[in-house]
Structure 1
Amino acid sequence: MRLTKFSVAAVALGLVLEAVGVPAQATDAIPFKIGISAPVVTIFPVWMGEAGGFYEKEGLKVEVINMEGGTRGLQVLLSGEIQAMHVGLAPAVLANKQGADLRLVTSTCNTIPITMFTKPGIGMGDLKGKIFGISTFGSETDVAIGILLKQLGLTRSDVTVSQIGGSSQRFGALIAGRIDVAPLIEPATTLAKERGFNPIIDLAAAKTPWIFDSVVVSNSYLKANRATLTRFVKAYVAGAYLALADEAKAKEVIAQKFKTSDPKVIAATYDDFKRLMPRDAAPSREGAENVLAQLEAIGTDIGSRNPADYLDLSIIEALKQEGYFAQLDKMYSMKP
């Protein structure tokens, strides 16, 4: 039987998982539901963990649910209907200020990956009175709009901010003319450029420290279910490493999940994932400090200014000490 590059890598990674103490295939898989804010590049390890079969190897039955917005997803998380939500730090800060006790345990993006697009003919000096599309109020895109307006000397009363949904929904609203400005993330960024929309500001190019997307759980779940969450993080990280090492497999999953056959879109999405993904999957303290500072700068009451009240790196640090990342590094040859 001829083994593909992916099958060889997956078999080899299975040996690594066993070597670091991963349980054999469980008779009764542990259910684990994770919400995503939208199908965007920064949630890619969630899908790669599934594509590589790593959740099953960890004895988990993972269900991925699109919540169409990070703020909405956190509400579902707090209801107990899901175990984790993939979302950025800003919505978690706002939720904690309202009485939640959330913690970020991983990160896929420690910068802001957003590019702002407008309809042709609209420039930076023409934004007053325009309609801005965001996912939901209190989301990362909402905060990004607030930062942009402050830089331009405008306030929210100078524009209309409309809740549209995820990046693909915002792109659709821009095409339909329902909004004038849309903060987009890959693969919508490349699609917008192909359609001739105007990229008025590229926040991604500035590489501003941030925590844009991460696995968020309640502190109570983290304390009561550390073993289960550790299994999920292992599979999630394994998925990220598989994607970084096996470009063909990663692009296959991108094409499937984003429902595209456009080679430019697929290539741009993969390149963005490689650029954004922290190799240790850890949330950045510097990013957390900047999120908190920027939220205060736009007039948001954040409560605690201490990053430790939002980040929990204990699972990532434990995996480092156990040699999990070192063994994955040996297993996969990362392309620059």
Structure 2
Amino acid sequence: MKLKHFLVPVLASLTLATQAMAAEPFKVGYIRVMDDAQAIAAYEGKFYEKQGLDVQLVEFKSGTDLIKAIVGGQLDTGVLGFTNAASWSSRGADLKVVSGAQRGFHALVVRDDAGINKVSDLKGHTLASQKEGSTADVVLKGVVLKDAGLKPDDLTIMGVSPQVAVQSLVGKRVDAAFLFEPQASIVQEIAPVKQIYEIGEVWPFPCMVTITSAATLKAKKDLVWKSLDAQQQAIELLQQHPNDAAKLISGYFIAEPTLKTLKHGDVPRDKIIADAIKTQTYSAALTPKDVSRMQEVANIMQAQGSLKTQDGKPFDVNKIVDLDWQHARHL
């Protein structure tokens, strides 16, 4: 057989394989909270597309389920809490935090009739928060309650989704809720409740980050970096033009064009979401202070027993933080 006759089918097969790889979507996981708005805005604003990426945005109900998909290879990247990466890495998963996303907004919202005016008043009450071991759960127990002189068993804590937390507060099944945006803003519009605390004001920390697996980063570094470029563009939109950003993402959080509020009647959903965006601090960069605060969070997790290293030594967050993209972009 002549060489060219042999090469033709081989090259054809390689071409088909390359086309198949190119056609495979780049999968980005997210949770339907304002903390993940940059992933949603990057998708709806076609920032991923402008980077040449065919992105499939995949919604998850919890960070635990999202991180499992990354570890299992079903997702390329995801925007979720740092605590998930730390917990799974301590058990042997080879994960990388490749950028920042949002700095920790978690608001303590209470019913007007519950008699709660400060965090220490939560003693003996019922509070809806996120699932045990989540970022919200870690900082609630390890920072918010601790600073107020409370122990977790001084109150009843329900681990539920943000949506269920809002429903529980509105339905008076709980006295308080520890909420992300936009749920914190939405519930204050539709129920007689008030916000008494927000952790980002007193203990800022990098709540949400972009996570991938080391294997994905090695095999698809160019694609991962392009996705981060797109999310950085989305962050700039969120920070500089919240009203425009709200038009892209408000439908993800409020189904109807308007929301019926207690004090202002029907309010356009875009306004509510724009106001919620303004409460957030988005940043793709992770500063040395951010990494130090992440180490503090990891230390809290170890003290709580939710993070255990194989050698019993303190977990080192530097082992899972990869800032190559950030440095290349001079962020």
Q: Into which bin does the TM-score normalised by the smaller protein fall?
A: 0.7 to 0.9
The aligned counterpart of 2:91 is 98
Once superposed, which parts of structure 1, at least 4 consecutive aligned residues long, lie more than 6 Å away? none
Partner of 2:102: 109
Change (3 A) 1:122 1:36: farther
- Structure 1 portions without partners, runs of 5+: 1-25, 326-336
What displacement does 1:125 show?
4.3
Instruction: Tell me the equivalent position of 1:63.
Output: 56
TM-score, normalized by length of structure 2?
0.78
Separation in structure 2 between the aligned mates of residue 40 and residue 181 of structure 1, nearest angstrom:
19
CA RMSD after TM alignment = 2.6
* Paired residues of 1:211 and 1:291 also in contact (CA < 8 A): no
The answer as to whether partners of 2:128 and 2:178 remain within 8 angstroms in 1 is yes
**2:282 counterpart of 1:277:** yes
Any idea what the Cα deviations from partners look like across 1:134-186, whole Å, max 9, x if unmatched? 33221111112212332344333333332311x23321221123333311122
* C-alpha deviation, 1:67, in angstroms: 1.0
Is the 8 Å Cα contact of residues 97 and 321 (structure 2) preserved in structure 1?
Answer: yes
2:79 corresponds to 1:86: yes
Quick one: which amino acid aligns to residue 55 of structure 2? V
| Cα displacement (A) at 1:60 | 1.6
2:29 partner letter: G
Residues 122 and 101 of structure 1: is their aligned pair in 2 closer, same or farther, counting only changes over 3 Å? farther
Q: Go from structure 1 to structure 2 and tell me whether the alpha carbon gap of 1:130 and 1:248 turns closer, same or farther (over 3 Å shift).
A: closer
Hey, what's the Cα distance between the residues in 1 that align with 2:196 and 2:184? Answer: 12
Task: Name the CA distance, whole Å, in 1 between partners of 2:244 and 2:23.
Answer: 25
Which letter maps to 2:282? M
Residue of structure 1 equivalent to 2:216: 221
Q: Is the 8 A contact 2:109 2:179 kept in 1?
A: yes
Partner of 2:274: 267
Q: Does 1:32 align with 2:42?
A: no
The TM-score, its normalising length taken from structure 1, stands at 0.77
Query: For the structure 1 residues 75 and 129, does the alpha-carbon distance in structure 2 shift closer, same or farther, using more than 3 Å as the test?
Result: farther
Partner amino acid, structure 1, of 2:318: A
2:138 matches 1:143: yes
Instruction: Name the SS for the 2:100 alignment partner.
Output: coil
Distance 1:179 1:92, change over 3 A: farther
SS in 1 for 2:200: coil
Measure the CA separation in 2 of the matches of 1:57 and 1:30.
17
Task: Tell me, in whole angstroms, the C-alpha distance in 2 between the residues paired with 1:311 and 1:27.
Answer: 28
Partner of 1:201: 197
C-alpha contact 1:210 1:290 (8 A) present in aligned 2 = no
SS in 1 for 2:192: coil
Q: What amino acid does structure 1 have at the position aligned with 2:106? A: I
How many residue pairs get aligned? The number is 289
Instruction: Choose from 41, 44, 47 the match for 1:48.
Output: 41
Instruction: Measure, in 1, the Cα distance between the counterparts of 2:184 and 2:71.
Output: 31
2:293 pairs with one of 287, 290, 299? 287
For residue 105 of structure 1, give the secondary structure of its aligned residue in structure 2. strand
Q: Classify 1:125/1:308 alpha carbon distance in 2 versus 1 (closer, same or farther; 3 Å).
A: closer
Q: Report deviation, 1:267.
A: 3.1
Cα distance in 2 for partners of 1:242, 1:129 equals: 43
Tell me, in whole angstroms, the C-alpha distance in 1 between the residues paired with 2:225 and 2:244: 25
Structure 2: state its 5+ residue gaps: 1-19, 259-267
Instruction: Summarize the alignment of residues 303-318 of structure 1 with structure 2, pairs less than 5 Å apart.
Output: 303=309, 304-318=314-328
Distance 1:75 1:164 in 2: 19
What amino acid does structure 1 have at the position aligned with 2:110?
T
Q: CA deviation at 1:286?
A: 2.8
- Asked whether the 8 Å contact 1:52–1:242 carries over to 2, the reply is no
What residue is the counterpart of 2:171 in the other structure?
Answer: 176
One-letter amino acid of the counterpart of residue 48, structure 1? A
Identity of aligned residues (%): 24
Aligned to 1:157: 153
Secondary structure in structure 2 of the residue aligned to 1:99? coil
Matched-pair contact (CA < 8 Å) for 1:292–1:302: no
1:97 shift after superposition: 1.8
Call closer, same or farther: CA 1:198–1:210 in 2, change over 3 Å: same
1:263 CA drift (Å): 5.6
TM-superposed deviation, 1:201: 2.2
> Residue 215 of structure 1: CA displacement?
1.0
User: Per-residue deviation at 1:133?
Assistant: 2.1
The 1:30–1:237 alpha-carbon spacing in structure 2 relative to 1, beyond 3 Å, is farther
Show the counterpart of 2:7.
Answer: none
Question: Are 1:93 and 1:302, in contact at CA under 8 Å, matched by a contact in 2?
Answer: no
Offset at residue 77 of structure 1 (A)? 1.9
